[in-house]
Amino acid sequence: MIQRIPGQPDETPQDHSTVNVPGTLSLLWFWRGAVLRVVGTMVLTGLAFYVTLVLIEIPVAPWIRSFGLWPTLTGGWHGVVQTADGRTSYVYLEIRGEVFSPGSRRARDSYIQGFARWCDDTGRIRNHDIWGNPDNWRGTKFHLSTRSEVDREAGVSLGDLQGEWNGDEIRATGVLVSHARTATAYATRTSRSPSAPPLVRYTLRRGSENEFLAACGTKG
């Protein structure tokens, strides 16, 4: 047993392995603040970049967005497609606009994109991709190309259309594209030149996809 002499300093060995808790917490708090500052700077930079693009986009393409200040071409549209002989079917268009994001567009020179849902004569819904461009600054005139999401060997699908938009109404003229199985050599030799695709007229108004589905459910 070690006896301590009065007046002599205590030389009991110290445990230097003990963690300095207050110092560690201060260091963690410092790094936490630094990380938050970096993240905050990145968020603010991204937000400023987005706001800048939007502010540039509004005068360049006012048909895309307006924050409720004026009507736009973009959004949901539903209505009827009418053939020359008076037959009608229902269609829904979801129109979106992209000016500064070419990588997200179907074609580099297409500023309109979206999709179409067509309730054909049989009541079956056919899905299509759509893309195109406005034909004037306000987008009151535009053209769209369409492509069925599923390759078909028979029947018809929506084709290209040329439209005019005014407020809450779109009127357009388009075609129906016929699909047929690969022609045989005999048919190729004996067939005449294909006739022009049948014309159809679109009459659309602003609305939701649910309204289109309800109208399609009433067919037949």
Instruction: Choose between 41 and 82: higher pLDDT.
Output: 82
Instruction: Choose between 212 and 99: higher pLDDT.
Output: 212
User: What would the two tokens of residue 181 be?
Assistant: 């199985």
Confidence of residue 43 (pLDDT cuts 50, 70, 90): confident
185-198, pLDDT tens digit by residue? 323 333 334 567 78
Partners of 173 in beta bridges: 162, 201
pLDDT at 184 over 60: no
Question: 1.10.3090, 2.40.128, 1.10.3470, 1.20.1420: which CATH number matches 75-217?
Answer: 2.40.128
Q: What's the full length of the chain, in residues? A: 220
φ and ψ at residue 153, rounded to 5 degrees: -105, -10
119-174, pLDDT tens digit by residue? 988 889 999 999 999 999 999 999 999 999 887 667 789 999 999 999 999 999 99
Residue ranges of domains in the chain: 22-60, 75-217
Q: Which residues contact 127 (CB under 8 A, 6 or more apart)?
A: 115, 116, 117, 118, 148, 149, 150
pLDDT given for residue 106 in this prediction: 53
